[in-house]
Amino acid sequence: MTAAIHSAHWGAFRPRVENGRLVEAVPFEGDPDPADLLASVPDVVHAPNRVRRPAIRRGWLEGRSRDEAPRGGDEFVEVSWDEAIGTVARELTRVRSEHGSEAIFGGSYGWASAGRFHHAKTQMQRFLAASGGYIAHVGTYSFGASSVILPRVLGFDANTSDSHSWDDIAAHTETWLMLGGVPTRNMKVDSGGVGAHRGARGLSRALAAGARAINVNPIRDEAPAGVEWQPIRPGTDVALLIGIAHTLLVEDRHDRAFLETFTTGFDRFAAYVRGDGDGVAKDAEWASDITGIAAERIRGLARDMSVTRTLITTTWSLQRAEHGEQPYWMTVVLAAMLGGVGRPGEGFAFGFGSTDGIGSGSQRFRPPSLTKGVNPLAGREIPVARIVDALENPGGAYDFDGERRTYPDIRLVYWAGGNPFHHHQDLGRLTAAWQRPDTIIVNEPWWTPTAKHADIVLPATTSLERDDIAATSSDGWIVAMKRAVDPVGEALDDSEIFRRLALALGLDAPHQSVDAALREMYDAGRTSAAGIGLELPPFDEFWESGSVELPRVEPRNPLVRFRAGEPLATPSGRIEIFSETIAGFGYDDCGGHPAWMTPREWATGYPLQLISHQPTTRLHSQLDHGSVSRAAKIRGREACRLSRADAVARGIRDGDIVRIRNDRGACLAGAVVTDAVAPGVVVLPTGAWYDPDPATGLERHGNPNVLTADRGTSKLAQATTAQTTLVEVERFDGELLPVEAFDPPRIAER
Q: How many CA atoms lie within 13 A of 229 on its CB side?
A: 15
Residue 109 known to be catalytic: yes
The answer for 235, left when phi > 0, alpha when psi is -120 to 50, beta otherwise, is left
CA angle centred on 360, ends 355 and 365, rounded to 5°: 95
User: What type of residue is 80?
Assistant: S
Answer whether 377's CB lies under 8 Å from 339's CB.
no
Among 683, 718, 707, 704, smallest CA distance to 604 is for 707
Q: Considering only CA atoms, which of 596, 600, 593 is closest in space to residue 281? A: 596
End-to-end CA distance of the chain: 41
Cα–Cα distance measured from residue 689 to residue 387, given in angstroms and rounded to the nearest whole number:
20
Relative to beta strand 639-643, strand 681-683 is antiparallel
> How many other CB atoms are found less than 10 A from the CB of residue 651?
9
Contacts 24+ apart (CB under 8 A), 32-36: 32/196, 32/197, 32/198, 32/201, 33/196, 33/197, 33/198, 33/200, 33/201, 34/197, 35/10, 35/11, 35/188, 35/189, 35/194, 35/197, 36/188, 36/628
CB count in 10 Å sphere of residue 746 = 11
134 catalytic residue (yes or no): no
How far is the C-alpha of 529 from the C-alpha of 527, rounded, in Å? 5
> What contacts 489, CB < 8 A, 6 or more positions away?
50, 51, 52, 53, 459
Catalytic-labelled residue, pool 10, 60, 109, 316: 109
Q: Where are the beta strands (DSSP E) in 308-375?
A: 310-314, 347-350
CA 615 from centroid of its chain's CA atoms: 12
DSSP, residue by residue, 464-489: GGS-EEEE-TTT-EEEEE---SPPST
Give the span between the Cα atoms of 82 and 445, in whole angstroms: 19
DSSP 548-562: EEPPPB----HHHHH
Catalytic residue, from 10, 60, 81, 111: name it: 111
Residues taking part in catalysis: 109, 111
